[in-house]
Structure formats: C-alpha cells, structure tokens
Amino acid sequence: MKVAIYGATGYTGVELLRLLQNHPKVKVSALISQSQAGKRLRDVFPFFYGELGNLTLTEEPKEDYEVAFLCLPHEGSLELVPKLLEEGKKVIDLSGAYRLKDPSLYPHYYSFEHKHPELLEKAVYGLPEIYRERIKGASLIANPGCYPTSVLLAIYPLLKEGIKIEKIVITSLSGVSGAGRKPVQHFHFPEMFGDFFAYSLEKHRHVPEMEGVIKDLYGINVPLRFSPIVVPTSRGMLSSVSVFCEKIEPRELYMETYREEPFVKVASEPPHTKWVVGTNLCFVYPLWDHRVGCLQVVSVIDNLGKGASSQAIQNFNLMMGFEETIGLNLSLNFP
C-alpha cells in the first residue's frame, strides 16, 4: 500500500516515518515538505537510512499513492483535504481542521472560517476504541488531538454505561513536543528547563473536541473544566480527570470495557508516562474518592504516539482492512 506523508519533517511526520518503515503493508512513496524540498530524507535526519533515507523530499508528490497522512498546520489541511478526496485518495488528517462537527466553532477556536463544512459530517473521528466500525468504512479520518485522546479514554466507560455525570474537571500535563517543531521563545531550553506553566485556560481548541464526542455518546452537554500544563520533557502526557458522578465501583467497569482492547490497559497503580513513550499504549487508573465523592481517573499516553502518529497508523490499519495492531507492536526504551 503506497502512502504519502505531507509535512514529513515535523514531529508527527517523523514519528510516522519511524513507525511506517517497519509496517509490512506500507511503502512510503512520497514525502512532502515545503521547508526541506530537494533534500534526501537522510540528509535532514541521518537516523533514516536505506531505501527510505534515500527518498527525496518534494513540494508536491512525484509518485502515485493511495493514502495520504496530513501532518500539516490546520489551515493547510483545510485546503488540501477536498482536493485529495476529489482525486480518490483516502486521507488521515492529524490536524484539527476536520475534528469538529459544528463549523461555527472554528472562528473562535481556530481563528478561521471553515470553507468546507460539508466535509465535517463526512469526516470520521479517529478514536478506534469508540468509533472502530465507522473508521472501517471511512475515506476521511480526523485523527484526534492528544489531550482529547487521553481524556476520552479515561471517561469512555462511564459514557458507554450511561453513568449520570454532573461535571468533569481535567488537569493534563504534556511534553513540549506537543507544541510542534517550530522554535518558540518560551520553549527555548534555558527558559523551559525547570519550568511548568498552564496555558489557554479560557479557550483551548481541544475543549469543543472533547465536548462534541461526549455529547455524541452521552446525548447531552456535560460541564467540562480543562487545564492544560506544559512540563519540561520532550514527550509524554498525563491527564488527571475528576468526574463528579453517581457512585460506582469503577475497576470492574473499566476492566470490562477495555478487556479486548489491544492498546488500552487498566493499571493496578497510578501509571507513569515512561510506560507509554514510543508506543501506542494508553494506561488508565480509575479510583473512587470516598472523601470527596467523585471518580478520579489518571491516564497516560505518548502525545506523539497514541496522541498522534501511532494512532493514525491504527486508524490506517482499520481503514484498509488490515489487522489493527500491525506495525504497532512497539517496545519502549527503559530507563
């Protein structure tokens, strides 16, 4: 299966390449990069070698392909997706351009008018543990954001079971790679090292993404308070989710929900990000807080893995009818 990667030199693009080079059903035939066009991949990233490393980065694809992975800025994907679909390509978009169903939300959260609202209904939200059957028949997949992936997997058993929920309070900590590869002053090493900070507390674009899925599954809006925090590590994400809901015994519910899931594991102790970095795994740890009267769920993922590129491959496998786990049996580095 021939694939193209648009935005091949950003963090999510490089992670896709790292994983796809060992995928037995994939041949990477086109690497698109505006900033590095004309260079061989190995000249930009020496750790890629062999046939893949010899591929030349181009501004436009020179070889034919069947599936496009878009690792582009939101507005870049917004414009490109309709053209690719018209050409008969299947598309997995890692940006947020097609994640929201309501086009009126885009000016507020993404600072642009959505020019292709008809495609928002066509796009399938690519969280396999929730929308597996829809993904199998999709031609356009909106790959979820990293924060929503960690949070939605933490609360999905409650939504699936129809547990009465009053409100949800979320604190999520993310590695710096979630901000992308473009240099930004406050992510400069001397300023970021030893520093933690919250951001976008009043208007984070992942809030309507989470709320949209919750409403789709639950039928009503649930108040959601989200606090994202950047921590001085390259990758990894931990979300602590407090769900004010009817009293339950959570462990059995979570075990039953995720028993057959290949990538979601119910932990027996609070999980560490070291358990997931470099993999497609998510660990969730549910605990009923008797003192406060709420459910506490801790989840961990790799923001570049299950939060982006490896989840895109999981979606690709489902879309193309391959075994869901192929190319994703990954081991991590320890320590």
Catalytically annotated residues: 146
Instruction: Residue 99: name the closest of 129, 142, 128, 140 by CA.
Output: 142
The neighbouring-strand residues paired with 2 are: 27
The alpha carbon torsion through 43, 46, 50, 52 (nearest 10 deg) reads -70
Instruction: Residue 147: name the closest of 110, 106, 96, 223 by CA.
Output: 96
**Pairing state between β 224-230 and 197-198:** antiparallel
Give the DSSP letter string of 95-157: SSTTT-S-GGGHHHHHSS--S-THHHHHPEE--HHHHHHHHHT-SEEEPPPHHHHHHHHHHHH
Give the DSSP letter string of 245-298: ES---HHHHHHHHHTT-SSEEE-SS---GGGTTTSS-EEEEEEEETTTTEEEEE
Tokens of 209: 């993404």
Q: How many CA atoms lie within 13 A of 315 on its CB side?
A: 33
Query: Angle CA(53)–CA(330)–CA(137) in degrees, nearest 5?
Result: 85
Say which DSSP state 213 is in: H
In angstroms, the CA 326 to CA 322 distance is 7
Q: Which helix (H) or strand (E) holds 185?
A: none
